[in-house]
Amino acid sequence: MKTEPAIHFVASQADGAEAKADVLRSRYGQSVIEEANVIVALGGDGFMLRTLHRHLPADLPVYGMKLGEVGFLMNRFREDDLYERLREANRVELNPLRMIAATEGGGESQALAINEVALLRQVNQAAHIRILVNDLVKVEDLVCDGVLVATAAGSSAYNLSVQGPILPLGTDALALTPISPFRPRRWRGAVLPSSVRIRFEILDYYKRPVAATADAQEIRNVISVDVFEDKETALKLMFDPDHSLEQRILDEQFL
């Protein structure tokens, strides 16, 4: 990285982030995305996810700063010493999940998920979902509110809130976790190698429609969803040495 990194600042519309970004732009300069070698994102974890998705084609590392309480994907906000912080930051590369969803209308949509792919019932009736792993049926009929697949980076988010396991970063594993399961009663999910391909088939989808989400992108009335880790795509995040993502995910297991 250059002595003085070429920074492209982006900011959330909440929490006064844009005003803070203007201060940083006047102090450190604002490079256009085509000439930048790092993106600095100001906001929360949700904004960081949107930034990673939006700027994926740029293939640039993203250094997040959160105003207020520090989130999992963000560093502490501080106006001073930004060049030095960027030079000393550790980089983490994450492979997102790729979701391929077929819909009742005959269409097919794809999306990437950094945290999780989740299937959720659209009506008051429980969903009925068949689960296959590498083309082998593992759960014939999961009666539930939904089910999700989480990456290690996302395992401490929605996955944790529905009693899924926290996966340490670098474990090359995925969490497969049911959401409010009714049948089978004793099945509470699985930890799978990140090399697997998971397929969800929606049973009785006319009467019990299901929506699929990849992070914030939603596709409704799906009839099947395939999920696998996209090894060809790498998202680059930057963290201060004393504030690593790996350590924060590990610490979540003791809270």
Regarding whether 45 and 16 lie in a shared domain, the answer is yes
Q: Are residues 67 and 174 in the same domain?
A: no
Over residues 107-156, the pLDDT tens digits come to: 999 999 999 999 999 999 999 999 999 999 999 999 999 999 999 999 99
Q: Is residue 1 part of a domain?
A: no
At 251 the pLDDT is 82
CATH number, domain containing residue 82: 3.40.50.10330
Residues 225 and 244 in one domain: no
- Same domain for 60 and 145? no
Q: Is 2 inside any structural domain? A: no
Q: What pLDDT, in 10s, does the model give residues 212-255? A: 999 989 999 999 999 999 999 999 999 999 878 888 788 887 87
> Tokens 């960081």, residue?
48
Please report where in the chains the tokens 């979540």 appear, as a residue: 252
Residue-range definition of the domain harbouring residue 64: 7-94+234-254
Sign of the Cα torsion 95, 235, 41, 47 reads: negative
The pTM (predicted TM-score) of the whole model is 0.89
Number of domains making up the chain? 2
Q: What CATH number has the domain bearing residue 142? A: 2.60.200.30
Which positions are catalytic?
45
CA distances, 119 to each of 106, 154, 185, 219 (Å): 18, 15, 19, 10
Q: Are strands 7-11 and 38-42 parallel, antiparallel or unpaired?
A: parallel
Looking up tokens 């529905």, which residue turns up? Answer: 162
Residue 97: HSE in the Cβ half-sphere, 13 Å Cα cutoff: 36
Domain-embedded: residue 125: yes
